[in-house]
Structure 1
Amino acid sequence: MIDINALTVRFKTRTGHFDAVREASFHVGEGEVFGLVGESGSGKSTILRALTGLAPVAAGQMKIGTHVLGEKLGRSFRRDVQMVFQDPYGSLHPRFTVDQTLREPLTINGIDRQDERIVDALREVGLGPAYRFRYPHQLSGGQRQRVAIARALIVEPRVLLLDEPTSALDVSVQAEILNLLRRLHRERNLTMVLVSHNLAVVGFLCSRVAVMRNGEIVEQRDIAAIRAQQVEHEYTRSLLRATSGYQRKPVQAVS
């Protein structure tokens, strides 16, 4: 479903240019959930933005389904590929009700039965009709992220790009959103790319993982190898150690 070969993303700076992503290559099968992990600034989110046409591609080839990125992309691409952003507080229009937020993509794509689809979309993400005419400031962070997911899914995409969708949420709410995404993947057979700095979050959803550092993919492994800590790159080992959490040293008795 997703085929990326030698992708380089380059930004202009005052002193020249900066390559945020360098020669990244990976492939995602139809219906697969693929993870991109790494520390902040490693280029994970930039790859997602390149896949949606929001970042400048300097070299390489990208293909999603039948769509070749770099060529003129029509409305069918925008419908097939949807993205959920990291910040649930910044990704929703503050003056749009939930109804307006969900109705806009339906209108743009000329999709009928809008009222019925809006109610169904809210119910699918665990929000009832009572939330339909609320504004973002009347919702919690988890509820906003559910609305953002409903907005992405309401046009029935084939690919869902997830840019750290739980990092701005409380731990208990993170679990709810992750369970929701896993259920939606199973029911819709969605192809997903999940960006995170947390290997535990990626391991919950993904079947394969690519580890990024300084704009490069340093290692790709399936999730079973990650769980067994069968990795080759020292940076991946450091991520695994960080994910395992803080281990307290035993206190020595004072004589």
Structure 2
Amino acid sequence: MIDIDRAQIRFKTRTGHVDAVRDVSLQVQDGEVFALVGESGSGKSTLLRALAGLVPLAGGAMRIDGEDARRRPVRDVQMVFQDPYGSLHPRFTVDRTLREPLAINGIGEQDARIIDALAEVGLGPAYRFRYPHQLSGGQRQRVSIARALIVEPRVLLLDEPTSALDVSVQAEILNLLRRLRDDRKLTMIVVSHNLAVVGFLCQRVAVMRNGEVVEQAGIEAVRARDVKHEYTRRLLEATEGYRRG
């Protein structure tokens, strides 16, 4: 479903340029949930934004189901951003937030679709005419997920979807995403620095460092610590937290 071939992403700076993503190649199968992990600044989110069409490629190619990602309909690939407080327009009701992508894509039966989309993410019709400031962080992220799914995409991109939420709310959102994965058979790419999140949702992992993929592995190999690259080992050790000697 997703084929990234030697992707390069470059940003201009005052002194020249910086290569945020360098020569990255990976494939994600139809219906697979794939993770990009690594420390901040490793290029994970930049690669995700390029797939969503928000960042241009400096080299290489990205294909969705065999077609150039830049030429596919926008509704085919949708993204859920990290910050549920910043990704919703503060002056839009939930209804208007969900109605806008339907209008942009010329999709009818909008009222029924909005009610169904809210129900799918566990929000009743009472939330339809609330504003973001009247919602909790978890409720805002549910609205963000509903907005992404309402146009029925084939690919869902998730950029740190739980990192801005309390731990108890994180579990709710992860369970929601897992259910949506099973119900809709979506292809997903999840960006995270939390390997517990990755282990719960994903089937394969690519580890990024300094704009490059240093290792790819199945989730069972990651759980068993059966990895080859020293950087991946250090990431796994960091997730184990503090242990008394």
Please state if 1:175 is matched with 2:175.
Answer: no
Equivalent residue, structure 2, for 1:211:
207
1:26-56 CA distances to partner (integer Å, 9 max, x unpaired)?
Answer: 0000000000000000000000111112113
Equivalent residue, structure 2, for 1:141:
137
Contact 1:11 1:56 in 2 (8 A): no
Runs of 4 or more above 4 Å deviation: none
Give the match's secondary structure for 1:34. strand
Equivalent residue, structure 2, for 1:202:
198
Give the match's secondary structure for 1:56. coil
Equivalent residue, structure 2, for 1:186:
182
TM-score of the pair, normalised by structure 1 = 0.94
Equivalent residue, structure 2, for 1:12:
12
Give the match's secondary structure for 2:151. coil
Equivalent residue, structure 2, for 1:29:
29
Please state if 1:151 is matched with 2:147.
Answer: yes
- Alignment RMSD: 0.9
Q: Which one-letter code corresponds to 2:21 in the other structure?
A: V
Give the match's secondary structure for 1:238. helix
In structure 1, the gaps of 5 or more residues are: 250-255
Give the match's secondary structure for 2:58. strand
Q: Which one-letter code corresponds to 1:207 in the other structure?
A: Q
Query: Offset of 1:244 from its aligned partner?
Result: 1.3
Rg (Cα) greater in structure:
1
Equivalent residue, structure 2, for 1:57:
57
Distance 2:222 2:23 in 1: 23
Q: How does 1:74-113 map to 2 (within 5 A)?
A: 77-113=73-109
Contact 1:10 1:18 in 2 (8 A): yes
Contact 1:125 1:146 in 2 (8 A): yes
Distance 1:14 1:69 in 2: 30
Equivalent residue, structure 1, for 2:122:
126
Distance 2:64 2:213 in 1: 19
Distance 1:66 1:20 in 2: 25
Q: Which one-letter code corresponds to 1:209 in the other structure?
A: V
Distance 2:117 2:244 in 1: 45
1:148-202 CA distances to partner (integer Å, 9 max, x unpaired)?
Answer: 0000000000000000000000011001000000000100000000000111111
Query: Offset of 1:67 from its aligned partner?
Result: 2.9
Query: Offset of 1:234 from its aligned partner?
Result: 0.7
Query: Offset of 1:66 from its aligned partner?
Result: 4.0
Distance 1:201 1:245 in 2: 15
Equivalent residue, structure 1, for 2:240:
244
1:52-98 CA distances to partner (integer Å, 9 max, x unpaired)?
Answer: 1211311111101143035xx35xx2111000000000100000000
Q: Which one-letter code corresponds to 1:137 in the other structure?
A: H
Give the match's secondary structure for 1:167. coil
TM-score of the pair, normalised by structure 2 = 0.98
Distance 2:108 2:49 in 1: 29
Distance 2:77 2:55 in 1: 15
Distance 1:69 1:141 in 2: 31
Please state if 1:160 is matched with 2:156.
Answer: yes
